[in-house]
Amino acid sequence: MSNNIGVYLKEKRKQANFRTQEALANFTLLAQGHISRAESSKTRPNDETLMILAIALGLDYEEVFTKAKPRTDEELGVILEQEKIDKKLFESVVAIFTYLLKNDDSKLQIRFFNGPLNLIKGEIKNGVKYRLEKAQEHLRDTASVKEETYNYIARREATRMFYSISRGFAKGFRANLLKEVEDFTQAEHSDSEQVPKEVIELTDTTRLFSIEGELLSEKEVYAIIEHHLTSRRIEEMFDHKK
């Protein structure tokens, strides 16, 4: 085992603002003792643990894996292909969780858990669902919630989900789950293909868009889009009757 892996992991943990091993353990579901042994170089984390740490700390797989032990070009190639899948899956789930935390959309939550997440074992899926619902309850009871709070909770819950699926399933499973998540996301936004590009861009710059100097909320921007879609449907309906 590389003598540097423990020092490296400890340094990266602190850079990611996890001041204690306990904080990182809570974020990832990894055992604190396991993190402690890894940081003191008493044990070398297995590949699944290295992936989870890379996801949680925002690190590249190549750097983390080669710090742990030397890799052949073939091994590294497999690792980098897996990284593309894992990080895309992770960010997609973070985006969905962020939306669910910020919006009381029970129908979407049901469709998500009964759709893509149906691929996951019942106890794991139920654990994710329970934690997300508890987080939603907590946020609803909080008077003012900062944007970074939503992001932190969404990334924490996505990391905890990733912990479960990286240990409970073969690596090919994550590629299948990514496809299900992408299909789900595309289906939820199928109407957006009919929306002019400049309107779609509003969703990415909500806080920069304003009318007569008044900033629009995210819901107001989506209301504009929905109004446009409704008008388009009515026009198409009357065109069809002509």
18 contacts 33 by C-beta, under 8 angstroms? no
Buried b (16+ CB within 10 A) or exposed e, 18-28: beebeebbebb
Of 2.60.120.10, 3.40.30.10, 3.40.605.10, 1.10.260.40, which CATH number belongs to 1-71?
A: 1.10.260.40
Q: Give the start-to-end residue ranges of the domains of the chain.
A: 1-71, 79-188, 191-241
Model pTM?
A: 0.75
In this prediction, residue 192 carries a pLDDT of 44
- Name the percent of the chain in helix, strand, coil, to the closest 5: 80, 0, 20
pLDDT in tens, the chain (242 residues): 445 899 999 999 999 999 999 999 999 999 999 999 999 988 889 999 999 999 999 999 999 999 999 999 999 999 999 999 999 999 999 999 999 999 888 889 999 999 999 999 999 999 999 999 999 999 988 888 888 999 999 999 999 999 999 988 888 999 999 999 999 888 876 544 454 555 545 555 554 555 655 666 666 766 777 776 777 667 766 665 55
Q: Which residues contact 7 (CB under 8 A, 6 or more apart)?
A: 39, 41
Residue where the block lists tokens 């299900």: 180
Separation CA 97–CA 209 (nearest Å): 24
Beta strands in the chain (DSSP E): 210-211, 214-215
In this prediction, residue 193 carries a pLDDT of 46
Q: How far is CA 120 from CA 73, 84, 105, 126, in A?
A: 32, 20, 22, 9
In this prediction, residue 4 carries a pLDDT of 82
In this prediction, residue 216 carries a pLDDT of 67
